[in-house]
């Protein structure tokens, strides 16, 4: 049986940790690694797309990161209770034409007893930005601990 710590019920500390671990996984941009955070029968709403199961999730993530280049993400805990966490997030990326975007959104997560995500509901909006408006400047991969979060950046 897969266990993904921390597991519910969440405390303020464990909800913050779960949020950061999710951010770290997504910043790898590795669908094989990211899908392990979710149950095999996970259900997603991502923008206008509905996804069921890890295989469909991996396909979605491959398409996403083939299009969203130099992707860097920050997540911030919004609220939690029991086995649910709500986060807000922003990520910056550019398309293959060099146009930059900052995508803002909210996610609602529901976890099983093993700490795997069963449901993810995401609402996301893309904001075109000029390259000089970027705020996320760490090397690709995990955001350094000393890099400001969303609130610190005024987002």
Residue range 123-142, pLDDT digits in tens: 999 999 999 999 999 999 99
- Quote the number of domains for the chain: 1
- Residue at 139 is within a domain: no
- Residue at 142 is within a domain: no
- Residue at 74 is within a domain: yes
- Residue at 98 is within a domain: yes
Is the Cβ–Cβ distance between 72 and 91 less than 8 Å? yes
pLDDT tens digits along 86-108 = 999 999 999 999 999 999 999 99
Token pair for 15: 């909800």
C-alpha closest to that of 149 among 86, 101, 78:
78
Q: Report residue 149 CA to chain centroid gap.
A: 14
- Residue at 1 is within a domain: no
CATH of residue 57: 3.10.450.50
pTM: 0.96
SS3 7: coil
Is the Cβ–Cβ distance between 150 and 90 less than 8 Å? yes
C-alpha closest to that of 25 among 126, 117, 148:
117
Boundaries of domain holding 77: 12-133
């Amino acid at each position: 049986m897969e266990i993904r710590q921390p597991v519910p019920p969440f405390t303020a500390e464990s909800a913050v940790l779960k949020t950061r671990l999710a951010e770290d996984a997504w910043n790898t941009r590795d669908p094989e690694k990211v899908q392990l955070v979710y149950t095999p029968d996970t259900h997603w709403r991502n923008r206008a797309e509905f996804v069921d199961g890890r295989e469909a999730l991996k396909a979605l993530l491959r398409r996403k990161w083939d299009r969203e280049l130099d992707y860097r993400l920050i997540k911030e805990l919004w609220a939690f209770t029991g086995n649910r966490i709500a986060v807000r997030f922003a990520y910056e990326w550019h398309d293959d034409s060099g146009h930059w975007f900052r995508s803002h959104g909210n996610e609602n997560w529901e976890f099983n007893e093993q700490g795997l995500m069963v449901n993810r509901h995401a609402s996301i909006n893309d904001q075109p930005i000029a390259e000089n408006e970027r705020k996320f400047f760490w090397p690709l991969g995990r955001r350094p601990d000393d890099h400001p979060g969303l609130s610190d950046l005024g987002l």
